Protein backbone atom coordinates (compact mmCIF):
# COMPACT_ATOMS: atom_id res chain seq x y z
CA UNK A 1 0.00 0.00 0.00
CA UNK A 2 2.77 2.44 0.87
CA UNK A 3 6.06 2.35 -0.96
CA UNK A 4 8.76 0.86 1.12
CA UNK A 5 6.78 -0.55 4.03
CA UNK A 6 5.83 -4.16 4.41
CA UNK A 7 5.55 -6.81 7.05
CA UNK A 8 8.86 -8.42 7.78
CA UNK A 9 9.04 -11.99 6.50
CA UNK A 10 10.93 -14.52 8.58
CA UNK A 11 14.52 -15.08 7.56
CA UNK A 12 14.98 -11.87 5.62
CA UNK A 13 17.15 -10.21 8.21
CA UNK A 14 20.17 -10.57 5.96
CA UNK A 15 18.55 -8.12 3.53
CA UNK A 16 19.84 -5.24 5.63
CA UNK A 17 20.79 -2.70 2.98
CA UNK A 18 23.83 -0.99 4.31
CA UNK A 19 26.05 0.54 1.73
CA UNK A 20 29.52 -0.93 2.44
CA UNK A 21 31.33 1.87 0.58
CA UNK A 22 29.55 4.60 2.46
CA UNK A 23 30.21 2.89 5.74
CA UNK A 24 33.89 2.51 5.06
CA UNK A 25 34.27 6.15 4.06
CA UNK A 26 32.63 7.57 7.13
CA UNK A 27 33.91 4.97 9.61
CA UNK A 28 31.08 6.34 11.72
CA UNK A 29 27.50 5.63 12.52
CA UNK A 30 26.23 3.15 9.93
CA UNK A 31 24.48 4.36 6.81
CA UNK A 32 21.13 2.64 6.28
CA UNK A 33 18.94 2.55 3.19
CA UNK A 34 17.74 3.91 0.84
CA UNK A 35 16.35 0.36 0.49
CA UNK A 36 14.34 -1.43 3.14
CA UNK A 37 15.93 -1.72 6.56
CA UNK A 38 14.89 -4.09 9.36
CA UNK A 39 13.53 -2.34 12.41
CA UNK A 40 11.55 -3.39 15.45
CA UNK A 41 8.48 -1.42 16.50
CA UNK A 42 6.94 -1.79 19.96
CA UNK A 43 3.26 -1.13 19.37
CA UNK A 44 0.47 -1.59 21.91
CA UNK A 45 2.65 -3.84 24.04
CA UNK A 46 3.71 -6.12 21.19
CA UNK A 47 7.03 -6.25 19.41
CA UNK A 48 6.94 -6.22 15.60
CA UNK A 49 9.96 -6.82 13.37
CA UNK A 50 9.44 -4.86 10.14
CA UNK A 51 11.17 -3.90 6.94
CA UNK A 52 10.89 -0.20 6.16
CA UNK A 53 12.64 2.24 3.89
CA UNK A 54 14.04 5.23 5.78
CA UNK A 55 11.39 7.40 4.10
CA UNK A 56 8.50 5.38 5.57
CA UNK A 57 6.59 7.45 8.11
CA UNK A 58 5.36 5.91 11.34
CA UNK A 59 1.77 6.40 10.16
CA UNK A 60 2.52 4.46 6.97
CA UNK A 61 4.25 1.65 8.86
CA UNK A 62 1.34 1.35 11.30
CA UNK A 63 -1.33 1.35 8.62
CA UNK A 64 0.51 -0.45 5.82
CA UNK A 65 2.79 -3.01 7.41
CA UNK A 66 0.95 -3.64 10.65
CA UNK A 67 -2.60 -3.22 9.36
CA UNK A 68 -3.42 -0.87 12.24
CA UNK A 69 -5.70 1.33 10.16
CA UNK A 70 -7.35 3.00 13.15
CA UNK A 71 -4.68 5.69 12.86
CA UNK A 72 -5.86 7.99 10.06
CA UNK A 73 -3.81 10.01 7.61
CA UNK A 74 -5.62 13.17 6.49
CA UNK A 75 -3.28 16.10 5.75
CA UNK A 76 0.00 14.16 5.93
CA UNK A 77 1.63 17.49 6.94
CA UNK A 78 1.38 17.68 10.70
CA UNK A 79 -1.49 20.11 10.38
CA UNK A 80 -4.62 18.18 11.48
CA UNK A 81 -3.53 15.64 14.14
CA UNK A 82 -5.76 12.87 12.72
CA UNK A 83 -2.71 10.60 12.83
CA UNK A 84 -2.04 11.15 16.56
CA UNK A 85 -0.43 8.28 18.47
CA UNK A 86 1.58 8.15 21.68
CA UNK A 87 5.34 8.02 21.51
CA UNK A 88 6.01 6.81 25.03
CA UNK A 89 3.74 9.25 26.90
CA UNK A 90 3.71 12.07 24.35
CA UNK A 91 0.99 12.63 21.77
CA UNK A 92 2.64 13.09 18.38
CA UNK A 93 1.63 13.29 14.70
CA UNK A 94 2.70 9.95 13.26
CA UNK A 95 2.76 11.36 9.72
CA UNK A 96 5.63 13.63 10.73
CA UNK A 97 7.89 10.98 12.26
CA UNK A 98 9.85 8.32 10.44
CA UNK A 99 9.35 4.71 11.50
CA UNK A 100 13.10 4.22 11.52
CA UNK A 101 13.64 6.83 14.25
CA UNK A 102 11.21 5.40 16.80
CA UNK A 103 13.74 2.95 18.17
CA UNK A 104 12.95 1.40 21.53
CA UNK A 105 10.19 3.88 22.38
CA UNK A 106 6.68 2.54 22.97
CA UNK A 107 3.96 3.38 20.44
CA UNK A 108 0.32 3.32 21.50
CA UNK A 109 -2.40 3.55 18.86
CA UNK A 110 -6.18 3.73 19.11
CA UNK A 111 -6.23 -0.08 18.86
CA UNK A 112 -4.23 -0.27 22.08
CA UNK A 113 -6.61 1.67 24.33
CA UNK A 114 -9.34 -0.91 24.98
CA UNK A 115 -8.34 -3.41 27.65
CA UNK A 116 -9.85 -6.71 28.73
CA UNK A 117 -12.66 -6.49 26.18
CA UNK A 118 -13.73 -3.06 27.49
CA UNK A 119 -13.47 0.21 25.69
CA UNK A 120 -11.32 2.92 27.21
CA UNK A 121 -13.40 5.37 29.30
CA UNK A 122 -12.71 8.10 26.74
CA UNK A 123 -14.12 5.90 23.98
CA UNK A 124 -17.21 5.20 26.07
CA UNK A 125 -17.64 8.89 26.83
CA UNK A 126 -17.36 9.77 23.13
CA UNK A 127 -20.21 7.34 22.43
CA UNK A 128 -22.32 8.53 25.36
CA UNK A 129 -21.92 12.20 24.37
CA UNK A 130 -22.30 11.68 20.65
CA UNK A 131 -18.84 13.11 19.99
CA UNK A 132 -18.45 11.25 16.69
CA UNK A 133 -19.78 12.24 13.29
CA UNK A 134 -17.92 10.88 10.24
CA UNK A 135 -15.26 9.59 12.63
CA UNK A 136 -12.21 10.42 10.59
CA UNK A 137 -10.69 12.69 13.21
CA UNK A 138 -11.97 10.62 16.13
CA UNK A 139 -9.10 8.18 16.77
CA UNK A 140 -6.70 11.10 17.01
CA UNK A 141 -8.99 13.08 19.30
CA UNK A 142 -9.43 10.05 21.56
CA UNK A 143 -5.64 9.65 21.81
CA UNK A 144 -5.24 13.31 22.84
CA UNK A 145 -8.04 13.12 25.41
CA UNK A 146 -6.81 9.85 26.91
CA UNK A 147 -3.31 11.29 27.22
CA UNK A 148 -4.67 14.39 28.94
CA UNK A 149 -6.59 12.32 31.50
CA UNK A 150 -3.61 10.05 32.13
CA UNK A 151 -1.61 13.05 33.32
CA UNK A 152 -4.46 15.12 34.76
CA UNK A 153 -7.58 13.19 35.89
CA UNK A 154 -9.67 16.33 36.50
CA UNK A 155 -8.98 18.77 33.68
CA UNK A 156 -11.03 21.93 33.35
CA UNK A 157 -12.60 23.14 30.14
CA UNK A 158 -9.61 25.29 29.18
CA UNK A 159 -7.20 22.39 29.65
CA UNK A 160 -9.36 20.15 27.50
CA UNK A 161 -9.54 22.79 24.80
CA UNK A 162 -5.76 23.15 24.80
CA UNK A 163 -5.30 19.37 24.66
CA UNK A 164 -7.50 19.07 21.56
CA UNK A 165 -6.39 22.33 19.96
CA UNK A 166 -4.28 20.55 17.35
CA UNK A 167 -7.19 18.60 15.91
CA UNK A 168 -9.22 19.57 12.89
CA UNK A 169 -12.72 18.12 12.92
CA UNK A 170 -14.61 19.22 9.85
CA UNK A 171 -17.84 17.78 11.25
CA UNK A 172 -17.53 20.15 14.21
CA UNK A 173 -17.69 17.66 17.07
CA UNK A 174 -15.58 19.88 19.35
CA UNK A 175 -18.32 20.89 21.85
CA UNK A 176 -19.38 17.28 22.35
CA UNK A 177 -15.79 16.19 22.77
CA UNK A 178 -15.31 18.79 25.50
CA UNK A 179 -18.55 17.72 27.19
CA UNK A 180 -17.53 14.07 27.07
CA UNK A 181 -14.21 14.75 28.75
CA UNK A 182 -15.68 17.18 31.29
CA UNK A 183 -18.15 14.47 32.31
CA UNK A 184 -15.27 12.01 32.74
CA UNK A 185 -13.25 14.56 34.69
CA UNK A 186 -16.13 15.11 37.09
CA UNK A 187 -16.95 11.43 37.40
CA UNK A 188 -13.44 10.33 38.23
CA UNK A 189 -13.21 9.67 41.94
CA UNK A 190 -9.44 9.88 42.33
Partner 1 sequence: MEAFQWQQARSPAEAAALVTQTTAEAMLTLQGTPSAQQAILVKAGGVDMLDLMKEGLVNPRRLVDISRLAELQGISREGDDSLRIGALTTLAQIAAHPGLRQSHAALAQAAAMAASPQIRNRATLGGNLLQRPRCWYLRSAAHHCLRKGGGHCFAFAGDNRYHAIFANHGCAIVHPSTPATALLAFHAQVELLHPQGQRRQVPLEDFFVLPEADMHRENILAAGEILTAVWLPPQIQTNRSIYLQVAEREAFDWPLAAVAVVVDLDAAGLCQRASIVLGAVAPAPWRARQAEALLTGATINGKTAEAAGEAALAGATPLAQNAYKLPLLATLVRRAVLAAAALPQDPRAS
Ligand X SMILES: Cc1cc2nc3c(=O)[nH]c(=O)nc-3n(C[C@H](O)[C@H](O)[C@H](O)COP(=O)(O)OP(=O)(O)OC[C@H]3O[C@@H](n4cnc5c(N)ncnc54)[C@H](O)[C@@H]3O)c2cc1C
**For the residues of 106-135, what is the DSSP string, one character each?**
EEE-GGGT-BTTB--HHHHHHHHTT--SS-
- In terms of CB distance, is 18 or 88 closer to ligand X? 88
Q: Binders of ligand X among 43-62, rule CB under 6 A?
A: none
Binding mask 63-102 for partner 1 (x = CB under 8 A): -------------xxxx-x--x--x--xxxx--xxx-xx-
**85 backbone dihedrals φ, ψ, rounded to 5°:** -135, 175
Q: Which residues bind ligand FES (CB under 6 A)?
A: 73-76, 78-83, 93, 95, 132-138, 169-171, 173
Q: Which does 171 bind (CB under 5 to 8 A by kind): ligand X, partner 1, ligand FES, none?
A: ligand FES
- In terms of CB distance, is 84 or 123 closer to partner 1? 84
β-bridge mates for residue 6, sequence order: 51
Strand duo 106-108 + 37-43: pairing: parallel
**149 backbone dihedrals φ, ψ, rounded to 5°:** -65, -30
Cα 87 to its chain centre, rounded Å, is: 7
Residue 1 binds to ligand X (criterion: CB under 6 A): no
In angstroms, what CA-CA distances link 173 with 15, 76, 126, 176?
46, 21, 10, 6
Q: Interface with partner 1 by CB under 8 A: which residues?
A: 4, 19, 22, 26, 28-35, 37, 53-55, 57, 76-79, 81, 84, 87, 90-93, 96-98, 100-101, 103, 144, 162-163, 165-166
Amino acid sequence: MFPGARAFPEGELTLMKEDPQENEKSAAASVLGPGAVPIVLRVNGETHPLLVEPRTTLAEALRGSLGLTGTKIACNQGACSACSVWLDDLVVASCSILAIEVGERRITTIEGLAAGGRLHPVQEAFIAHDAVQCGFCTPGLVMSCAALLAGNPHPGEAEIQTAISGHLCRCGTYPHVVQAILALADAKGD
